């Protein structure tokens, strides 16, 4: 009777497999637009290894791409000309941190409608992740994006 | 730069189709903007931007589309977007953009929309 309450063995095996496949990432990217592809590929690989479904992985890639774009566009690279992208597993979430060495420059204070040409990055980041945090320090701006791995659906 | 590509054709005399492929991000958004602006400046007033072969599009490229739709409208023309990529559709819906840039799932739908909005 007791065994009926436990998750089915295949599901446990799947979870173990994805946990083993994921490797934390700590990447220094040259602060150039041409590096965006590398950042996206890196997040896509981490998300797949962590067991994210396709749609959730795409959403995380999109959100991180916005943060890296902001860091390249508005931020300041460190002495080596790089910005930092790290990806860590925390329980059932992936946490991506994007850090540049510049002070935070707030987007226009004006309340703009969604139809304007730019300034939509923060809306995307918060809509596509489960937690969006902006850490502002004197010589660093860090965007932290957390996305939960949806519960694995046991195959019927 | 990667796999970003663009090509355009004139169909049926006055409908221009701009096909975009690959990743459209901050790196290539200036090229994308110049190409669309060039078509509008050269006199195209019925423009279909086909994103069917796009793998990734970021907010910068979306901003280019928003600006181009406005400019085309101001010029008395019409610009519609085709995209059958479900991932891209989901991104648009996440921030309520589907009302600003309607994504048509086929060329047929896009041509019908041109006829209505032109």
Locate tokens 């774009």: which residue?
A69
Q: How far apart are CA B83 and CA B102, in angstroms?
A: 9
So what's the pLDDT on residue A118?
A: 66
| Residue A152 binned pLDDT confidence (cut-offs 50, 70, 90) | low
CA distances, A74 to each of A52, A97, A102, A108 (Å)? 30, 16, 8, 13
pLDDT, chain A, mean? 83
So what's the pLDDT on residue B116?
A: 73
CA distances, B19 to each of A78, B8, B44, B85 (Å)? 38, 6, 15, 14
| Burial degree of A5 (CB within 10 A; 0-12, 13-18, 19+) | exposed
Please tell me the distance in Å from A28's CA to the nearest CA on chain B: 18
B31 touches chain A (CB under 8 A): no
Q: Phi-psi region for residue B7, left (φ > 0), alpha (ψ -120 to 50) or beta?
A: beta
So what's the pLDDT on residue B13?
A: 81
Q: Is the model more confident about A5 or about A22?
A: A22
Q: How far apart are CA A112 and CA A127, in angstroms?
A: 17
Confirm if A97 and A143 have CB atoms less than 8 A apart.
yes
So what's the pLDDT on residue A18?
A: 54
Locate tokens 């819906």: which residue?
B93
| pLDDT of B11 above 80 | yes
The single-letter DSSP state of residue A102 is S
Q: Name the pTM for this structure.
A: 0.86
- Tokens describing residue B87: 């991932």
Q: Which among B25, B27, B97 has CB closest to A114?
A: B97
> What is the average pLDDT across B13-31?
95
- Other CB atoms within a 10 A radius of the CB of residue B110 amount to 23
So what's the pLDDT on residue A108?
A: 60
Q: Between chains, do B90 and A55 touch, taking CB under 8 Å as contact?
A: yes
Mutation target for B interface from A30, A31, A32, A33: give the one with most B CBs within 10 A.
A33
Q: Is the model more confident about A16 or about A51?
A: A51
Q: What is the pLDDT of residues B73-111, one digit of tens each?
A: 999 999 999 999 999 998 888 888 888 899 999 999 999
pLDDT, chain B, mean? 92
How big is the A-B interface in CB pairs under 8 Å?
71
Q: Between chains, do A65 and B25 touch, taking CB under 8 Å as contact?
A: yes
Q: Between chains, do B58 and A66 touch, taking CB under 8 Å as contact?
A: yes
Q: Which residues of A touch B95 (CB under 8 A)?
A: 114, 120, 123-124, 127
Q: Which residues of A touch B26 (CB under 8 A)?
A: 33, 36, 69, 72-73
Q: Which residues of A touch B58 (CB under 8 A)?
A: 36, 62, 65-66, 69
CA distances, A143 to each of A84, B50, B51 (Å)? 11, 33, 29
**Closest residue of chain A to B57, computed from CA coordinates:** A62
Q: What is the pLDDT of residues A73-118, one digit of tens each?
A: 888 888 888 999 999 999 999 999 999 988 777 766 545 555 566 6
> What is the average pLDDT across B2-16?
91
Chain center to CA of A32 = 19
- Tokens describing residue B98: 């589907």
Give the CA count within 13 Å in the CB-facing half-sphere of A151: 3
So what's the pLDDT on residue A78?
A: 82
So what's the pLDDT on residue A4?
A: 42
| Burial degree of A137 (CB within 10 A; 0-12, 13-18, 19+) | exposed
| pLDDT of A19 above 60 | no
Within 89-108 of B, beta carbons closer than 8 Å to A belong to 90-91, 94-97, 100
Q: At what angle do helices B86-94 and A121-128 cross, to 10 degrees?
A: 110
- Tokens describing residue B43: 């006199």
């Amino acid at each position: 009777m007791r065994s009926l309450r436990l998750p089915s063995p295949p599901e446990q095996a799947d979870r173990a497999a994805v946990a083993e496949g994921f490797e934390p990432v700590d990447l220094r990217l040259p602060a150039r637009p041409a590096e965006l592809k590398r950042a996206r590929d890196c997040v896509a690989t981490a998300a797949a290894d962590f067991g994210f479904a396709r749609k959730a992985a795409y959403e995380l890639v999109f959100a991180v791409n916005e943060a890296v774009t902001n860091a390249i566009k508005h931020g300041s690279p460190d002495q080596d000309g790089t910005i930092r992208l790290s990806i860590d597993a925390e329980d059932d979430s992936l946490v991506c941190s994007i850090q540049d060495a510049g002070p935070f420059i707030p987007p226009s204070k004006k309340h703009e409608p969604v139809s304007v040409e730019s300034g939509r990055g923060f809306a995307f980041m918060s809509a596509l992740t489960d937690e969006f945090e902006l850490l502002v320090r004197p010589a660093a701006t860090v965007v932290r994006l957390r996305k939960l791995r949806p519960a694995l659906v046991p195959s019927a | 730069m990667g796999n970003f590509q663009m090509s355009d054709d004139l169909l049926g005399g006055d409908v221009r189709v701009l096909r975009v492929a690959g990743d459209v991000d901050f790196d290539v958004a200036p090229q994308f903007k110049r190409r669309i602006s060039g078509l509008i400046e050269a006199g195209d007033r019925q423009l279909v931007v086909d994103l069917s072969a796009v793998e990734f599009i970021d907010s910068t490229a979306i901003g280019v589309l928003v600006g181009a739709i406005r400019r085309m409208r101001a010029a008395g023309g019409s610009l519609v977007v085709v995209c059958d990529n479900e991932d891209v559709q989901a991104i648009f819906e996440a921030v309520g953009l589907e009302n600003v840039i309607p994504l048509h799932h086929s060329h047929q739908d896009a041509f019908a929309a041109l006829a209505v909005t032109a």
